[in-house]
Structure 1
Amino acid sequence: MKRFGRIAIGIGIVAALAYLLALAGMFLFQRDFQYDRGGRLFALSETRLAQAELVRIPSAAGSSLAGWYQPPAAGKPLIVYFRGNAQSFSREHERYEAFVADGYGSLAFDYRGFPGSPGEVSEANILADGLAAYDWAAAKGFPIVLWGRSLGSGPATYVASLRDADALLLETPFDSAVAVAADRYGFLPVGLLMADQFPVDSWIKDVAEPVFVAHGTADRTIGVSHGERVYALAPNPDELWIEPGAGHSDMWARGLWERAKAFFARAEAGAR
């Protein structure tokens, strides 16, 4: 019996050490888990954005952000696009091509720490970069609508809570980054470990703009319940589109742009 007791104690010690190592690894390398900063900044010559220009947007602490900008046609708003987590904003050039083909303006950019914009990635820097991009765009004098995809739902909602845009579209949003982490790592106290928590569920309560939320039922990256909770908290909800069977990267192919245009038209009509 004593032998079995010693074995049980040994197993317990090994399990405790493994758990502590998991905690330490999550804490020390959390941003490597949270952000995908690989990839490259595409050249505009690799796209069909013949009238767009590469711009440098001043941000905090003397930093600058790489972005692509094209003004809108008369009577259309400028879409400030807050990209998702993977690689550079430029990889989604087909979206910006669709925007400008229909007369919308487009500003998309990399947060600091992503391929086009040097610096350190952090929640504070991403939020500051979002505000800098909005203010740069607002100075152009066009009506502005905001589009936040995935990770971008954090800074897009934050900016909407502090600035006066005409609409906020959230594609596969989360109610907080820490809630997403808890979905994946429920055995860890992620709320105590995470530095970058992006409390969208708090910011959305201060968003006066009309809000459109798009999410798929088969999203395994950010569960559809996150989008439903964000929409339920919006003071000025416009539409919640839940697409059956759609995953995290499927919404565009499922017709999101057509729905977005209808939403932006409603929002612009209400803003006049």
Structure 2
Amino acid sequence: MNKWLRRALVGVLVAVVVVYVAILAIVYVFQRDLQYDRSGRVFELSETKLSGAELVTIPNLDGSSITGWYQPPAAGKLLILYFRGNAQSFSREHERYEAFVQAGYGFLAFDYRGFPASPGEVTEAHVLADGLAAYDWVKAKGYPIVIWGRSLGSGPATYVASQRESDALLLETPFDSAVAVAGDRYGFLPVDLLMSDQYHVDQWIKDVTEPVYVAHGTADRTIGVAHGERVYALAPNKDELWIEPGADHTDLWARGIWERAEAFFVRSEAKLGR
């Protein structure tokens, strides 16, 4: 081989390695900016139809706190502990909470640390601790609790359900792990080595004794439907797997998940004799 050709090939190889290492470094340093969208504003309760809800601050054991909205349920109804996804503030989903309240359900929804309503740094450890703090705070109110986790929220929702007692666990567009989702997107990178916040739902779900309902869409481009199918397969106490044809990541509310959720909660309560 011509020595100039050899030098050119070595030069190309070195350039490829340098670029690849640079990509690894950028992904590692900025991984949480890629994983979490902490932009957006916090809606005021006065901008919603939640006339009976209140702004609450929930303390953590380490002295930090999280901020959310809380409303107790009507007599004989459940309280929904809602774990939001990874984008902007929990308050942007106020139409969901309005539907809960209109049907008589109570709710607690909040921002994890590092998101608009709750100061601090977002990490997996903080998100999980915030989830436990929210559960413990609302459990003290004395109402029966069901847990609803959406997207990223499927991580802390499943973790809390594995550590605490509730009446049901609903997972909307869940992943079996966040690192598996990253692997889907960045298969050319060793994401299992790079990623700090991996959220292993596939491990936690095995310790969940509550009835589990999983909802996913076949056209989900954010978290593929196979993730939801795998989560459901691992659940010890299966209730139902709803796969909606043609639904993308944010379509399930408009496709009727609330009506299905209500029926699931009623089934779960009937099994408990309530």
TM-score (norm 1): 0.99
Give the total of aligned pairs. Answer: 272
Alpha-carbon distance in 1 for matches of 2:271, 2:30: 45
Task: Tell me by how many angstroms 1:64 deviates.
Answer: 1.1
The corresponding residue for 1:107 is: 108
Alpha-carbon distance in 1 for matches of 2:208, 2:231: 11
Q: Secondary structure at the match of 1:81?
A: strand
Alpha-carbon distance in 2 for matches of 1:270, 1:186: 43
The corresponding residue for 1:231 is: 232
The corresponding residue for 2:12 is: 11
The corresponding residue for 2:243 is: 242
Letter in 2 for 1:140: K
Q: Secondary structure at the match of 1:126?
A: helix
Alpha-carbon distance in 1 for matches of 2:254, 2:89: 20
CA deviation vs aligned residue, 1:145-167 (integer Å, no higher than 9, x gap): 00000000000000000100000
* Kept after mapping to 2: 8 A contact 1:55/1:67: yes
Alpha-carbon distance in 2 for matches of 1:89, 1:63: 18
The corresponding residue for 1:141 is: 142
Please say if 1:154 is aligned against 2:155: yes
The corresponding residue for 1:206 is: 207
Alpha-carbon distance in 2 for matches of 1:271, 1:55: 30
Alpha-carbon distance in 1 for matches of 2:153, 2:199: 10
The corresponding residue for 2:90 is: 89
Task: Tell me by how many angstroms 1:4 deviates.
Answer: 1.3
Structure 1: 4+ residue segments shifted above 3 A: none
Letter in 2 for 1:192: L
The corresponding residue for 2:39 is: 38
CA deviation vs aligned residue, 1:8-47 (integer Å, no higher than 9, x gap): 1100000000000011111111100000001111100000
Percentage identity across aligned positions?
74
The corresponding residue for 2:167 is: 166
Task: Tell me by how many angstroms 1:94 deviates.
Answer: 0.1
Alpha-carbon distance in 2 for matches of 1:113, 1:122: 8
* Kept after mapping to 2: 8 A contact 1:149/1:173: yes
TM-score (norm 2): 0.99
Q: What root-mean-square deviation, in Å, do the aligned CA atoms of Structure 1 and Structure 2 show?
A: 0.5
Alpha-carbon distance in 2 for matches of 1:241, 1:265: 17
Letter in 2 for 1:246: A
Alpha-carbon distance in 2 for matches of 1:104, 1:63: 28
* Kept after mapping to 2: 8 A contact 1:150/1:173: yes
Structure 1: gaps of 5 or more residues: none
The corresponding residue for 1:175 is: 176
Task: Tell me by how many angstroms 1:60 deviates.
Answer: 3.4
* Kept after mapping to 2: 8 A contact 1:60/1:129: no
Q: Secondary structure at the match of 2:266?
A: helix
Letter in 2 for 1:105: G
The corresponding residue for 1:222 is: 223
CA deviation vs aligned residue, 1:39-78 (integer Å, no higher than 9, x gap): 1111000000011000001123111111100000111110
Letter in 1 for 2:218: T
Letter in 1 for 2:91: S
